[in-house]
């Protein structure tokens, strides 16, 4: 594959292609090694990490809805200490840029997590998750308040010098306002969207399907909303964007690039097909070739008038 | 894989035979992850099914399913010759190393399916009895005849008493007049309630027991953490470290 054709940059973060796995849908990068070489991807965003080890939420944690999935995993993860001790050694030789996703329950926790990763060479960027809908404090509570986004971003910026991505929640009235706060706080890249808050009800049991009542909706059902938000950000702000939300095919990915994303996140597609992200890389390449496009820059943001 | 047959064998219960053009690797207790419709995002996720039987020479794999929701309603309509995408031989199955033991298989409802494949693979080296539980006779007829073909002693329990013992399969197991020999080892699969009861039963009797758990799965390949099982050794993934676990290690929710 011609390398140059698919190259993209997110500020200082240079990727050989625009396909990044979305956090929480690709484990810690090694789980799917039997399906395809992870080095085929632009980057891998790892499962979200918190300060302390977390057991996650009660089961069932997942409910299928038309063309979508509601999840309420609850950030089950081994915690930052175990991550550094046990997981980093396992992934340090993977030939793909690795992005750590961090979730705090307070500004100090976000800062502490970023500080812990500052000197970790394996981690090429940090994604600040201010948008998890499945934890009681922190998470989305931060991501729906522009003042909090600013504060979290500013504090992480003080201790983390590498590329900082801020992952935004779509559960807001004005996504541009949230992104502006992140940019003012010092974010280098914006990723969006995290899941949309939703629910499903079991009509036989007459109660919510998920024990947590609400969950995060992902999959093709949310793509139009995600695309609109990426478009709005590109229209109003000059910051690299990782666009995600329901991308299942190369064509879906191209839509996000046209809307203004410089890279795309593939998440739920991997739960349907373990090799979906690799397939999307190939499909983007095929689209570019078929349309005689020599580089991704020629299409990024081109849907804007 | 291609559908070779898809036929009704009981109330809402179907047997689907799949033909692969590759060698089938599946072992007893492992599962397949079936994409019901490649053309549509509804349903979006695959569905996991334990393996009922494999014919390794003919590359045939059989599953049993009960129509109980959107996915299985669509499966029922699949025709011979239709193609379906399958992730094969996922998870860790039952241990197959037991020899010269008195083994009891305990299956409830659709949980009986993987025990047939297991029985086929280990019956030569062991003395096996099987206890089957379901709501009624119609749900058990097919399974009973399949185990009988293997010349394995079958004991039935039905909730309505239409076949065998009236009550649960665990009550049947606990009935001293039924299983008189010493039990060395138990393999089980069935609803969570059944496994919970089995767990308290074996606690007192100290019988090594393996259980295949039925948890709602997302990806089936270990990345989404939808099917986490709490165990005395920490959180495990039903799809990856499981679905078979030592029953004594599983921590069930209240």
CA distance A296 to A284: 9
Class of domain B2-90: mainly beta
Q: Tell me whether residue A203 is in a domain.
A: no
Rounded to 10 degrees, what is the CA torsion of A161, A167, A172, A176? 60
Q: Do A219 and B35 touch (CB under 8 A)?
A: no
Q: Which domain holds residue A81?
A: 3-57+73-197+218-298
Of A25, A61, A64, the CB nearest to B223: A25
Per-residue pLDDT for A16 more than 90? yes
Q: Tell me whether residue A209 is in a domain.
A: no
The minimum CA-CA distance between A159 and chain B, rounded to whole Å, is: 30
Per-residue pLDDT for A263 more than 70? yes
Decide if B93 contacts B241 (C-beta within 8 A).
no
Q: Which of B86, B84, B28 is nearest to B54 (CA)?
A: B28
The minimum CA-CA distance between A206 and chain B, rounded to whole Å, is: 17
Query: Length of chain A, please?
Result: 305
Tell me which of A24, A27, A68 to substitute to probe the interface with B (most B C-beta atoms closer than 10 Å). Answer: A27
CA distance A74 to A57: 5
Interval B102-134: pLDDT, tens? 999 999 999 999 999 999 999 999 999 999 999
For residue A71, report the phi and psi dihedrals to the nearest 5 degrees.
-125, 150
Is A180 part of the annotated catalytic residue set? Answer: no
Q: Do A27 and B42 touch (CB under 8 A)?
A: no
Structural domain total, chain A? 1
Please give the order of strands across the beta sheet that includes B127-134: B165-166, B153-158, B127-134, B102-108, B185-189, B208-212, B244-246
Domain boundaries, chain B: 2-90, 102-214
| 3-state SS assignment for residue B58 | coil
| Reported confidence tier of residue B180, pLDDT bands at 50, 70, 90 | confident
Q: Tell me whether residue A136 is in a domain.
A: yes
What does the block give as tokens for B154?
Answer: 């079958």
Interval B3-54: pLDDT, tens? 999 999 999 999 999 999 999 999 999 999 999 999 999 999 999 999 999 9
CA distance A293 to A266: 23
Residues in chain A within 8 Å Cβ distance of B235:
55-56, 76
CA distance B115 to B132: 10
DSSP calls for B158-226: ETTSSSSEES-HHHHHH-TTT--SPP-EEEEE--HHHHHHHHHHHHHHT-EEEEE-----SSSSSSS-S
Q: Residue A251 sits in a domain of what CATH number?
A: 3.20.20.70
Per-residue pLDDT for A1 more than 60? no
**Overall pTM surpassing 0.90 (yes/no):** yes
Residues in chain B within 8 Å Cβ distance of A67:
41-42, 44
Q: Tell me whether residue A171 is in a domain.
A: yes
Helices and strands, counts by H and E, chain A: 11, 16
Q: Tell me whether residue A305 is in a domain.
A: no
Q: Which of B203, B205, B216 is nearest to B242 (CA)?
A: B216
Q: B102-214 — its CATH code?
A: 3.40.50.80
Of B222, B226, B228, the CB nearest to A31: B222
Q: Tell me whether residue A85 is in a domain.
A: yes
């Amino acid at each position: 594959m011609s390398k140059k054709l698919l190259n993209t940059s997110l500020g200082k973060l240079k990727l050989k292609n625009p396909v990044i796995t979305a956090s929480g849908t690709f484990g810690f990068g090694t789980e799917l090694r039997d399906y395809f070489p992870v080095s085929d991807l632009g980057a891998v965003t790892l499962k979200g990490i918190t300060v302390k080890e977390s057991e996650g939420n009660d089961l069932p944690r997942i409910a299928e809805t038309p063309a979508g999935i509601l999840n309420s995993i609850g950030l089950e993860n081994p915690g930052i200490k175990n991550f550094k001790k046990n997981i980093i050694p396992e992934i340090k030789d993977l030939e793909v840029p690795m992005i750590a996703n961090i979730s705090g329950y307070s500004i100090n926790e976000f800062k502490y997590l970023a500080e812990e990763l500052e000197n970790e060479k394996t981690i090429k960027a940090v994604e600040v998750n201010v948008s998890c809908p499945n934890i009681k404090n922190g998470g989305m509570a931060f991501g729906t308040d522009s003042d909090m986004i600013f504060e979290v971003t500013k504090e992480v910026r003080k201790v983390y010098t590498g590329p900082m991505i801020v992952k935004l929640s779509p559960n807001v009235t004005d996504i541009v306002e949230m992104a502006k706060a992140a940019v003012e706080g010092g974010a280098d890249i914006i990723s969006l969207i995290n899941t949309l808050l939703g629910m499903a009800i079991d009509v036989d049991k007459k109660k919510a399907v998920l024990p947590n009542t609400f969950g995060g909706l992902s999959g093709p059902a949310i793509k139009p909303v995600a695309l609109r938000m990426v478009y709005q950000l590109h229209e109003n702000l000059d910051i690299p964007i990782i666009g995600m939300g329901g991308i299942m095919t190369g064509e879906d990915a191209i839509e996000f690039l046209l809307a203004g994303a410089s890279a795309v996140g593939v998440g739920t597609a991997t739960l349907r097909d373990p090799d979906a992200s690799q397939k999307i890389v190939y499909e983007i390449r095929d689209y570019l070739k078929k349309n005689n496009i020599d580089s991704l820059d020629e299409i990024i943001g081109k849907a804007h008038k | 894989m291609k559908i070779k047959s898809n036929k009704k064998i009981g109330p809402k219960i179907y047997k689907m035979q799949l033909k692969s053009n590759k060698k089938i690797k599946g072992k007893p207790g492992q599962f397949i992850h079936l994409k019901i419709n490649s053309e549509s995002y509804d349903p979006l996720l695959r569905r996991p099914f334990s393996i009922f039987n494999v014919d390794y020479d003919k590359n045939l794999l059989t599953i049993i399913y009960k129509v109980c929701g959107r996915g299985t309603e669509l499966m029922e309509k699949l025709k011979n010759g239709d193609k379906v995408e399958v992730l094969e031989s996922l998870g860790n199955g039952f241990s197959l190393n037991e020899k010269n033991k008195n083994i009891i298989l305990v299956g409830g409802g659709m949980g009986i399916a993987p025990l047939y494949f297991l029985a086929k693979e280990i019956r030569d080296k062991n003395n096996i009895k099987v206890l089957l539980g379901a709501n009624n006779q119609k749900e058990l007829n097919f399974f009973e005849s399949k185990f009988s073909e293997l010349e394995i002693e079958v004991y039935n329990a039905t909730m309505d008493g239409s076949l065998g013992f009236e009550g649960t399969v665990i009550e049947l197991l606990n009935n001293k007049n039924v299983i008189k020999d010493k039990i060395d080892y138990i393999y089980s699969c069935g609803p969570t309630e059944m496994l919970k009861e089995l767990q308290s039963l074996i606690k007192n009797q100290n019988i090594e027991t393996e259980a295949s758990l039925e948890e709602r799965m997302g990806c089936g390949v270990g990345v989404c953490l939808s099917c986490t099982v709490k165990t005395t050794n920490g959180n495990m993934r039903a799809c990856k470290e499981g679905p078979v676990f030592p029953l004594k290690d599983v921590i069930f929710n209240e």
